[in-house]
């Protein structure tokens, strides 16, 4: 009997890439490939890349360089690059790294089996088009293997906002939403395989229009699935948080009280230069409406410091916004130019200024995060247990607020939902006892 071929996938970036990597592995599974955790014994290496962070492309080239020895030792080894760096620099990747056998963009990975066959035949396979067909329609049915209690589910891709700092509209294309019926079918399948919490994914997920009532309607449809206990979604744009979705945070029990709602900056002048198409007051009013329907809502955000032309006064307004909103968690970054975006052509701030502002902003966010975590001590939360902890008899799970919670809990299994009293707050997690 022929041994199965082995596939190693390294995933960079966001949860959408995690989901895409799962679907790529499933597509290649239909061709006889099985997953391996090591590139050393792989018959195919696939890098699923992200173009958001600084020097993303150079990191991919550096990673490819590490595989030169493997390729030399195993001439039949196939190496591919997928995702957003592939979309942006497909031909350049082939030119700079001739050992790469195939390059495929994030909207074309349903064609991986065909591209792999071409690579096996000795061709260089490149596909970075935005295909007319829906890739999800052409992917193989998901295997029926048992799943962990949490899963990602992509419902929307692309973005039409064209923020001045962002490459997503160029690498993922225009906004496209999957039909609600297909999402509900995939969700039911996940639940049948053990999933109890689903996080809906999209570059601009609340712009979802595959349901007549938008994302709020889809969430209510998912909430009707027996066995699905929790629903989350990410990443959102303030301009697409419509009335029905706001209402869902108050009346849909399965929608968790945690929302990632990036604002990026607190200065109207910088928001305009970023082409965010909203003001700080728009953001404040939206937060007020959300907290009116769900007072215990925990917020997460994204912040960019050192954007071109940002003054000390602009930065002070960002700190003021953070003080007023109070975030449970956040992602913060120094601005770095992304080639082809409008902001990349503007005068840049010095790295010293960016470093200082990032340090000050992160110190404030850390204080807020710790204060909100400390305030959880004494409260009873519901924890979805996911895996064993490091200590014997310990289980680790997530609260409804997305806090990691460690509990000494003999007899508790992954997938169990239990009430837990929080007894201690640590730097990045909570400790609790079964209530």
Known binding residues for [4Fe-4S] cluster are: 14, 50, 84, 159, 163, 166
The candidate with the shortest Cα–Cα distance to 400, out of 139, 197, 238, is: 197
Sheet strand arrangement including 150-154: 150-154, 197-201, 230-234
Q: Buried b vs exposed e over 189-209: b needs ≥16 C-beta within 10 Å?
A: ebbeeebbbbbbbbbbbbbbb
How far is Cα 398 from Cα 99, in angstroms, rounded to an integer? 42
Annotated binding site: 14, 50, 84, 159, 163, 166
Q: At what angle do helices 214-223 and 243-251 cross, to 10 degrees?
A: 30
- Helix (H), strand (E) at residue 406: strand 404-408
How far is Cα 202 from Cα 196, in angstroms, rounded to an integer? 20
Q: 13: how many CB neighbours lie within 10 A of its CB?
A: 18
- C-alpha distances in angstroms, 171 versus 59, 83, 89, 168? 17, 8, 10, 5
How far is Cα 247 from Cα 364, in angstroms, rounded to an integer? 30
How far is Cα 374 from Cα 425, in angstroms, rounded to an integer? 5
Question: In whole angstroms, what separates CA 9 from the centre of its chain?
Answer: 17
């Amino acid at each position: 009997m022929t041994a199965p071929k082995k596939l190693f996938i390294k995933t960079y970036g966001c949860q959408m890439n995690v989901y895409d990597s799962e679907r790529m592995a499933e597509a290649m599974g239909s061709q006889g490939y099985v997953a391996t955790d090591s590139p050393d014994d792989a018959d195919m290496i696939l890098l699923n890349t992200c173009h958001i962070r600084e020097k993303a492309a150079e990191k991919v080239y550096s990673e490819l360089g590490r595989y030169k020895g493997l390729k030399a030792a195993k001439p039949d080894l196939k190496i591919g690059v997928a995702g957003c760096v592939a979309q942006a620099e497909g031909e350049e990747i082939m030119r700079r790294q001739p050992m790469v056998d195939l390059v495929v963009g994030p909207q074309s990975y349903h064609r991986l089996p065909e591209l792999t066959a071409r690579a096996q035949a000795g061709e260089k396979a490149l596909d970075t088009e935005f295909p007319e067909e829906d890739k999800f329609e052409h992917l193989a049915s998901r295997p029926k293997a048992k799943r962990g209690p949490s899963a990602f589910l992509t419902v929307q891709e692309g973005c039409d906002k064209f923020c001045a700092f962002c490459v997503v509209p160029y690498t993922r294309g225009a906004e496209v939403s999957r039909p609600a019926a297909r999402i509900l079918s995939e969700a039911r399948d996940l639940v049948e395989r053990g999933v109890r919490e689903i996080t809906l994914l999209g570059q601009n997920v609340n712009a979802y229009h595959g349901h007549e009532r938008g994302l709020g309607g889809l969430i209510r449809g998912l909430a009707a699935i027996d066995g699905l206990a929790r629903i989350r979604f990410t990443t959102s744009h303030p301009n697409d948080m419509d009335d029905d979705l706001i209402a869902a945070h108050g009346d849909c029990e399965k929608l968790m009280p945690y929302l990632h709602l990036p604002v990026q900056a607190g200065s109207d002048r910088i928001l305009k230069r970023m082409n965010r198409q909203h003001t700080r007051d728009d953001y404040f009013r939206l937060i007020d409406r959300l907290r009116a329907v769900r007072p215990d809502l925990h917020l997460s955000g994204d912040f960019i410091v050192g954007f071109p032309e940002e003054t000390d006064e602009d930065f002070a307004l960002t700190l003021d916004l953070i003080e007023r909103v109070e975030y449970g968690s956040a992602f913060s970054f120094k601005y770095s130019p992304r080639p082809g975006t409008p902001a990349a052509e503007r005068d840049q701030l010095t790295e010293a200024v960016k470093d200082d502002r990032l340090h000050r902003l992160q110190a404030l966010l850390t204080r807020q995060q710790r204060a909100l975590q400390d305030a959880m001590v004494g409260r009873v939360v519901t924890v979805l247990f996911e895996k064993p902890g490091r200590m014997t008899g310990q289980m680790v799970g997530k609260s409804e607020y997305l806090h990691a919670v460690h509990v000494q809990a003999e007899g508790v299994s992954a997938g169990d939902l239990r009430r837990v009293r929080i007894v201690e707050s640590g730097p990045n997690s909570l400790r609790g006892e079964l209530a």
